[in-house]
Amino acid sequence: MAGFINYVKESFGELKNNVTWPTWAEAQSLTILVAAFSIIFSLAIWGVDTVFSKVIELYFQLING
């Protein structure tokens, strides 16, 4: 158990002293960037899914006559 407690203490020390945290403005702009790319990527996946579903639907219509 002492090993775990030591690990947690060292982890907090690492985060406090050695990690370079972004400024509030950087964090906001990066959050907006991630949100925008997430929306764009989800729309792209939705578009590809729609096209593939229409192609598969057309394929089965042609097979079944």
The residue assigned the tokens 């990690």 is 19
pTM: 0.64
Domain holding 41, by residue range, is: 23-65
What's the CA angle centered on 44, arms 39 and 48, to 5 degrees? 150
CA atoms within a 13 Å half-sphere pointing along the CA-CB vector of 49 = 6
pLDDT-derived band of residue 63, with 50, 70 and 90 as boundaries? very high
Report yes or no on 28 lying in a domain: yes
CA 36 to chain CA centroid, nearest Å: 11
pLDDT-derived band of residue 32, with 50, 70 and 90 as boundaries? very high
Number of domains in the chain: 1
Report yes or no on 52 lying in a domain: yes
The residue assigned the tokens 């050695």 is 18
Report yes or no on 11 lying in a domain: no
Report yes or no on 58 lying in a domain: yes
Report yes or no on 13 lying in a domain: no
Q: Which DSSP category does 22 fall into? A: P
